[in-house]
Structure 1
Amino acid sequence: MDSIEVPPVLLSVTRMFLSGDRLVAYQERNDTLFSFWKLPDCKFLYAAGVRGEGPNEFLMLDRNFQEKPNGFSSFEIQANRIKEVEALDDGTFRITSCRSVNTDLQPLNRLLMLADSSFCFVSDNEEYEFTLLKKDGITHDFGNYPLRLLQEEADTPHRFTYNKLTVAHPDGSRFAVFYAYVGLVRIYGADGTLQAESVLPEKKTVSGEERTVYYRSFPYATSRSVYVLTQEADMTLLEQWSWKGELEKRYVLPVAVSSFVVSESNNRMYAVSPEREDRIYTYRLD
């Protein structure tokens, strides 16, 4: 691990992702929502994007961003809108497209942008986990809950009992599901077909919490692998999963991190820690 000293502007980083050769930090609590950093040396470029209801402003955003070479796509939860952003190295930052998602359903939780202009989100149907929304507005519920793996209460919806974190493949052909409180990982195709499922060994409760926590931080996906943080005792670990649902590697991290990205082009992970606001930590992956 190495660390790079940066201007102390990385306050409360909600999510990190890549845009070409730039690292982007989304900070939903800040007045300016995005900061941009040039890779591989993590040189600060600029901050841009403000909260508001104007055409070039943002309402509350979902934490899943679709990466693009010169920008990204984001989803406004309150308005059911997709906003596409162009962000260049010279400081140019503008919203190039704003379109409504073709549905009256709201809110759309854990929205994923999939292939063929379709979307996936957590269903409010107690029988199914997800809803697939096609570009023509037709919806299809799919995915059986892993019932009886956790204590279920009659007045608690399954979507809360079986809370999960999701991330889509960069080309939208599939997505991965990591369950927060049960050792289960699933891979679904963009059509809703379950492609793979892995059950993890049971582990003890960590951090003095009543429930065992397997995954609490949003995963990050590349074309080859899916990466996700987990905790064991006092160790923070990075897990690397294949898109076949196989656990390939586990890295023990010397510093607890809260958000990260993986750059396949230089085989490094870039991460931030809640303990230091003036550092970006870099890890060379094997």
Structure 2
Amino acid sequence: MNRICIFVSFLSAIFLLEGCTSRKEPSTGLPSLKELRADSISIPPVLLSVTRLFVVNNMLVAYEQRKDTMFSFWKLPECNYLFSAGCRGDGPNDFLMLDRTFQATPHGFKTFELSSSRIKEVAIDSMGLFKVLSNKQLEVEQGGLNRFLFLEDDSYCFISDKEEYEYTLLDKHKGVCDFSSYPEGLLRKEQDELNRFVYNKLTVASPKGDKFAAFYAYIKLCRIYNSKGELLEEQMLRQPDENISEEKHIYYSSYPYADENYIYILTDEEEGKILEIWNWEGALVSRYLLDKPVDCLAASSANGKVYAVCQEREDVIYTYNIP
């Protein structure tokens, strides 16, 4: 009887040890930090509170949610101003408040209207064409679909309203399902505080929609999922301090940008504003210390450049050449 008890205790200890070591330890082998200097392109002072930059059909697009005309278009690579379009309103080519996610299409882009849960597809060209081609109503019970992502095969992902899950997947074949447990225990949580606020994060999908990435604001944690909601990779760069102060340090506050090969995201460190470049295997491949306090960016793989703006300057677009 004693031998059986000892054997059971031994097995329990093994299982406990495996459970404690399942999460990856913080990575210590960071890429060396290199400095990048910007080229400044002077523009008319037309940019106001840009909340998202993206590239479509060799045009840089600035989404300015506070303006009545919400989009401005710039010819690449010179960043020559083309036109502005997309008014705020209820008209056939108008928009209500949009989530900050945009998916390029052969004719323009798709976007998601937060207040109506509608997907709008827009056709644009450099000659000034701007037209809403389709207006699709999503049939979901949950309201306010934050961190909305376009995934492959007409599937969509957004933050779940359930406390035990991070995300909801809307699959046209399987319907609605929730997935992914929160990385609980890493941050202090008040009694009535919701996980979605404690583990606030920024998300971005690959252009094909076969994967998406999540970057956590208060811990340097990156997770990579496939379009079915399966966790593929997890990489932690910094463990939260044991002496947690009232004020949490925000590492990731600017929306990431992604192309087929890489994810570009800004982070605030002691050295200053740093551009991190990740691949879709969940590895941090490059780190660049930027010379400007930019807070919004987009990348053009065709030009090998990153385009960025900052709230302090409404008359400049910065460009960085990525080695």
- After TM superposition, the score normalised by the length of structure 1 is 0.96
Cα drift, residue 203 of structure 1: 7.1
State the partner residue of 1:258: 295
CA deviations 1:82-111 (Å, max 9, x no partner) are 000011111111101101113222121111
For structure 2, list consecutive stretches of 5 or more residues without a partner in the other structure. Answer: 1-37
CA contact (8 A) 1:103 1:137 kept: no
CA deviations 1:140-169 (Å, max 9, x no partner) are 111110001000112111001100000000
Cα drift, residue 137 of structure 1: 6.8
- Answer 1 or 2: higher relative contact order, Cα 8 Å, separation at least 6: 2
State the partner residue of 1:185: 222
**Using the alignment, how far apart are the partners of 1:137 and 1:157 within structure 2?**
28
Paired residues for 1:102-181 under 5 Å: 102-136=139-173, 138-181=175-218
Cα drift, residue 33 of structure 1: 0.2
Cα drift, residue 20 of structure 1: 1.3
The residue matched to 2:238 in structure 1 has which SS? coil
Change over 3 Å in CA distance of 1:185–1:45 after alignment to 2: same
User: How many residues align structurally?
Assistant: 283
Q: Which letter maps to 1:261?
A: A
State the partner residue of 1:56: 93
Cα drift, residue 118 of structure 1: 0.5
State the partner residue of 1:66: 103
Change over 3 Å in CA distance of 1:232–1:57 after alignment to 2: same
Change over 3 Å in CA distance of 1:234–1:80 after alignment to 2: same
CA deviations 1:45-97 (Å, max 9, x no partner) are 00001111122110100001111243110101111100000111111111011
Cα drift, residue 31 of structure 1: 1.0
| Partner of residue 232 from structure 1, selected from 248, 264, 269 | 269
**Using the alignment, how far apart are the partners of 1:183 and 1:31 within structure 2?**
36
CA contact (8 A) 1:102 1:137 kept: no
**Using the alignment, how far apart are the partners of 1:119 and 1:281 within structure 2?**
32
State the partner residue of 1:41: 78
The residue matched to 2:101 in structure 1 has which SS? coil
The residue matched to 2:73 in structure 1 has which SS? strand
Cα drift, residue 274 of structure 1: 1.4
For structure 1, list consecutive stretches of 5 or more residues without a partner in the other structure. Answer: none
CA contact (8 A) 2:187 2:240 kept: no
Question: What is the root-mean-square deviation in Å for CA atoms of aligned residues?
Answer: 1.4
| Partner of residue 59 from structure 2, selected from 12, 22, 26 | 22
**Using the alignment, how far apart are the partners of 1:136 and 1:50 within structure 2?**
34
* 1:277 is the counterpart of 2:314: yes
**Using the alignment, how far apart are the partners of 1:23 and 1:43 within structure 2?**
9
Q: Which letter maps to 1:200?
A: L
Change over 3 Å in CA distance of 1:209–1:40 after alignment to 2: farther
State the partner residue of 2:135: 98
Q: Runs ≥4 in structure 1, deviation > 4 angstroms? A: none
Paired residues for 1:1-16 under 5 Å: 1-16=38-53
The residue matched to 1:280 in structure 2 has which SS? strand
**Using the alignment, how far apart are the partners of 1:260 and 1:209 within structure 2?**
30
